[in-house]
A and B are shown apart, each in its own frame.
Chain A
Amino acid sequence: MLSVQGNAITERSAESLIPLSNLSFHVLLALADKAAHGYAIGKEIEARSRGKLKPTTGALYQALHRLDASGLVASAGAPAGATCDPRRKYFCLTLLGHEVMNLEATRLAELVAAVRAKSRAPERS
């Protein structure tokens, strides 16, 4: 049963939340090591995907909203050193978010391994 209250992490199992959409995964990845606001998340996704993924602000906040509602990310205060601008909203990864990100990474890694195994197969025969 899904029930979200603020930053509280639900009992929902991490497995039920994967696979993640490409954008959601990138958002989690951008928040993996630090809290960030929307603009910075967008910049990081663009840089990491070498410009292949350029979410519009609408799409980005759609993803953030869904991740928030599922308890994967949460609103956070401004990190130390950043100027405190009330208009900016900072997001950070929850424990569940970390778990889901790692699970998704493992899933992707297994997929990649499977593809590599297949593509090597003809050489062996």
Chain B
Amino acid sequence: MSRLLFRLLVALYPRGVRRDYGAAMLETLHQRLAERLARPIRQRRLVFVIRESAGLLTGAARQWADALWRGILPTSAHRSPRIVRVMFGFPQDLRYAFRDLLGNASFSVVAIVTIALGVGANTAIFSVVNAVLLQPLPYAEPDRLVRIWPGENVTKALHQRLQKESTVYIDTTVWSGWGFTITGVEESESVSGGVVATNHFDVLGEQPLLGRSFRAEESIPGNHDVVVLSHGLWQRRFSADPDIVGRRVDIGNEHATSRRVIGVMGADQRPLGEEWELWTPLPIDPGREDDYYHSWYLQAGGRLRPQASVAEASAELAALLVRLRADERLGLDRKDDLPLARVVGLHEHTVGSVRTTLLVLLGGVALVLLVACTNVANLLLARSAARRRELAVRAALGAGRGRLLAQLLTESGLLGMVGGATGVLLATQLVGFVARWMQGTLPRAEAITVDVVVLAYAFSISILAGLLFGAVPAFRTMSGDLRESLGDGAPGGGGSLASMRTNQVLVVAEVALSCVLVVAAALLVRSLTQLWAVPAGFDARDVVTMRVTAPGSRYPEGPQQRQYWAQVMERIAAAPGVEKTGAIHLLPLDAGNWSFSFLAEGQEAEEGHPLPVANFRVVAADYFHTMAIPLVDGRLFDERDGPDSADVVIINQRFADQYWPGESAIGKNVALFGNQNREVVGVVGDVRQLRLHWPALVSVYRPTGQHPLASMVVAVRLQPGAAIAPVLQAIRLLDPQVPISGIQSMREVMGGSLGREHFSAWLLSGFAALALALGAVGVYGVMSYVVSCRTREIGIRVALGAPAGTVVRDVMVGGMGPVLIGVVVGLGAALLASRLLASMLFGVEPNDPAIYAAVGATMLLTALLAGVLPARRAARVDPIVALRAD
């Protein structure tokens, strides 16, 4: 990163110097950087980079000035047109600006830090927007890749019909996420991978780095025990073995226990599924009717023909589905979500859900930059009074107005650039942090980086910021007759009434902008606390969860799996520190969901209407007690519910209320899939399974004893302060080949489900705090300025006997005027802007009066605090000193 910066800065040198010394300078810089990096203390690096960058900038400016004076550039510039004069004056202006910057160190530092914070935050957020929203997906001709969405997932049979009868695609593919277990010499582990159609890689236009992708015949059962590894898995688990292709490895799931490696993907290749570590072919066997016709777990996508559009594809899909409805075996007649069927671009599908969040953040951070600019403009304005004299002298000596304006704008442009460069350095640190934070919450988070596009953006906003905050004070300074400033009584240290007014307008803007940000942040934080306060239906405190997967090679069938779970739950329950334990195959509020159609006793299946759908979960041991889910009626599962006894289910309260209102559900029958009868033995409390802000769904629980699964999430309620290690030990002691993954507390699982809400609320709060702080500094600056302008007047009043309290009050009232206007304008603007947030809010209205009142009060209080110091200074004005000032 710093190398790129150095390269850019060296490029600023005049061409001749660059040719003779450029390479040597870069070499020296690299050697120096390498030396810094070798030292133990890393913080010094930033100081080094800033210092060297400043050195390069000064050097470049001097070299340009030298070049000018030596006559390389036309020295007869004063005879050239005006624009040429202004342009050739630039090196000189820059040189002068540098001297000025160094001469007013404290002013420069404040201005540069302010701009750096603004530009840094903007650059960091823009790098996220750039990677997620702007960059094309990393596939060949990504614009033609689409997601085919026939209302929900597809079956193998439906996909094959779509593939055969569609005309808009070059080809289509299907895929689904799957869990795999890697066993062998090292510790076993579970990884997630993709089960994909054999043409998957061809559709995406991806070819493995080593070996090959799948062949069509590898979808036939018996041939499908092949695997393509991700670059990461190949390096991590197989030590980047170059001869891996052709080897058999112990990667198992229910389709096969070991597989032959046929390919390894490149480091940047992620053919759909950012977290997948391997790909296996989807076995297709039309003979297995339930799997082929009835399992709706596949996602479909395709590559459009060059002349086909997404809209055409959507229209074709809708027409096709209506036609396919006639084929009963496809099961489309039972689907009521066909009207939702559509085709969307893959990019839109991947990032569409986060667009609002990211654009709101980008808008928020842009407001921060505006506040920062206003602040610096204020600082410059305060200085401009003093500058008028100097500029007047230069004007008297023959400098044109344009020339002087160029000088002022060069100065602010330079401030913008130095601040911007510092901001970019700040952003490079922030970006890594943001990317880590967003991993798993934001699609494409792994692609977040500071690249050329981001640098160009940072460069542009720095220049823009420089001109923006420079323009107002520059025009202010140049306005009116400069020569007046040469007169005797002209204000020197103080300021004119006109610039005081400009100053106040800037405060109004600053306060209003901050106000908008603070309101937005307050709304999001309030929404987040509302989400956390939602009763999830369980008690997450002291509960730790982990996924445990019994490998298919050792536990291939139901009986072995059932026995494993019985034994392991017993061992965990006996481990020290464990209060209660149980397991469920998919945790609430975590990724993944199973739902099945059902028919409740007393209900009739209606012709042409689909069956209702219930959440389906398999639980083991004492799951409900562990999660503190209350038993409402009947009993929980126990040892009685085995393979040989009657099939039973537990349902949730919502199920009972909806289908058997006013009567007991115990003893009633639920027909899963419409035909497999299960008796209800218990009713438990509602749990929010999918999202905290979605109401609990109708749910059905089944015991592992009757519905064994290889992979479950173990939940353990620990005694307060107890360690998790004995639990892990108990699992490993029973069978060291069983992998344990994803160990996290239930609170973390809940937090993970709110990742995006947390992210936006905290980031926007950070921006708001920054804006508030900058706003306070602005108010402080302006009040100080007002006091210095009115020193003489206050002096007279004090001399005439005005009490200190009155003076303080007058100054405060004068200073609070613009703040009050700013708050009113800001709250009004926030009222309009908050509508954009509506889709991100939960349990709070965008126009919540309490929040607006609180924000208004906070703004006023902050301004009052910022204004107190200067006001007190006014009260201490010594009349004799004040009157002697002139």
Contacts and interface: CB of A to CB of B under 8 A. Distances in A.
Contact of A88 (B17, B24, B32, B66): B24
Contacts of B63: 62, 65
B55 A88 contact: no
Contact of B54 (A42, A56, A86): A56
A56 B24 contact: no
Given A38-B27, A39-B31, A57 B21 contact: no
Contact of B21 (A42, A56, A65): A65
A9 interface: no
B62 interface: yes
Interface string A50-75: 00000111111110111000000000
A38 B25 contact: yes
B12 to A, nearest CB: 10
Contacts of A61: 21, 24-25, 28, 59
Nearest to A41: B28
Contacts of A87: 23-24, 26-27
A85 interface: yes
Contacts of A60: 28
Interface string A108-122: 000000000000000
Contacts of B23: 86-87, 89
Given A61-B59, A62-B59, A65-B17, A89 B24 contact: yes
Given A56-B54, A57-B32, A59-B55, A37 B24 contact: yes
B55 A57 contact: yes
A73 to B, nearest CB: 12
Nearest to B57: A58
A66 B51 CA distance: 21
Interface in B71-122: none
A62 B32 contact: no
Contact of A42 (B28, B56, B62): B28
A57 B32 CA distance: 9
> Helix, strand, loop or mixed for chain A's interface?
helix
Given A39-B31, A39-B32, A57 B54 contact: no
Given A39-B32, A56-B55, A62 B62 contact: yes
A57 B7 CA distance: 13
A88 B27 contact: yes
A59 B58 contact: yes
Interface residues of B, number: 24
Contacts of A66: 66
Interface in B6-36: 17, 20-21, 23-29, 31-32
B57 A57 contact: no
B51 A39 contact: no
A119 B58 CA distance: 39
Nearest to A55: B55
Instruction: Indicate the member of A55, A60, A62, A66 with the most B CB atoms within 10 Å.
Output: A62
A17 to B, nearest CB: 16
B55 A58 contact: yes
B713 to A, nearest CB: 57
B58 A57 contact: no
Nearest to B21: A61
Contact of A57 (B17, B20, B25, B62): B25
Nearest to B34: A39
Contacts of B56: 56-58
Contacts of B26: 87
Interface in B40-71: 51-52, 54-60, 62-63, 66
A58 B60 contact: yes
Nearest to B51: A56
Nearest to A60: B28
B755 to A, nearest CB: 43
Contacts of B59: 56-59, 61-62
Contacts of A64: 21
Contacts of B55: 55-59
A39 B28 contact: yes
Nearest to A66: B66
A37 B60 CA distance: 20
A58 B32 contact: no
Contacts of B24: 37-38, 61, 87-89
Contacts of B58: 56, 58-59, 62
B674 to A, nearest CB: 76
A37 B28 contact: yes
A43 B59 CA distance: 19
B27 A85 contact: yes
Contacts of B28: 37-39, 42, 57, 60-61
A28 B28 CA distance: 18
A86 B59 CA distance: 23
Contacts of A85: 27
Contacts of B27: 37-39, 85, 87-89
Instruction: Indicate the member of B20, B51, B54, B59 with the most A CB atoms within 10 Å.
Output: B59
B52 A56 contact: yes
B52 A58 contact: yes
Nearest to B59: A58
A86 B23 CA distance: 9
Contacts of A86: 23
B16 to A, nearest CB: 10
A64 to B, nearest CB: 7
Contacts of B66: 66
A66 B54 CA distance: 19
B71 to A, nearest CB: 11
A62 B57 CA distance: 11
B6 to A, nearest CB: 8
Contacts of B25: 38, 57-58, 61
A39 B28 CA distance: 5
A88 to B, nearest CB: 6
Nearest to B23: A87
A55 B51 CA distance: 10
A123 to B, nearest CB: 42
Contacts of B60: 58
Nearest to A91: B24
A36 B59 CA distance: 21
Interface in B773-808: none
Instruction: Indicate the member of A57, A61, A65 with the most B CB atoms within 10 Å.
Output: A57
Nearest to B33: A57
Interface in B676-704: none
Contacts of A88: 24, 27
A99 B249 CA distance: 76
B331 to A, nearest CB: 69
Contacts of A65: 17, 20-21, 63
B723 to A, nearest CB: 51
Contacts of B17: 65
Nearest to B54: A56
Nearest to A90: B24
A89 B21 contact: yes
Contacts of B51: 56
Interface in A6-59: 37-39, 42, 55-59
Contacts of A57: 25, 28-29, 32, 52, 55-56, 59
Nearest to A68: B20
A42 B27 CA distance: 13
A65 B64 CA distance: 13
A59 B29 CA distance: 12
Contacts of A89: 20-21, 23-24, 27
A31 B28 CA distance: 16
Contacts of A38: 24-25, 27-28
12 contacts: A38-B25, A38-B28, A39-B27, A42-B28, A56-B51, A56-B54, A57-B32, A58-B54, A58-B58, A58-B60, A59-B59, A89-B20
Q: 10 closest pairs, A vs B, by CB?
A: A56-B55, A58-B59, A58-B55, A89-B24, A38-B28, A58-B56, A39-B31, A87-B27, A39-B28, A62-B59
Interface of A: 37-39, 42, 55-62, 64-66, 85-89
Given A42-B32, A64-B21, 7 more contacts: A37-B27, A56-B55, A58-B25, A58-B55, A66-B66, A87-B24, A89-B20
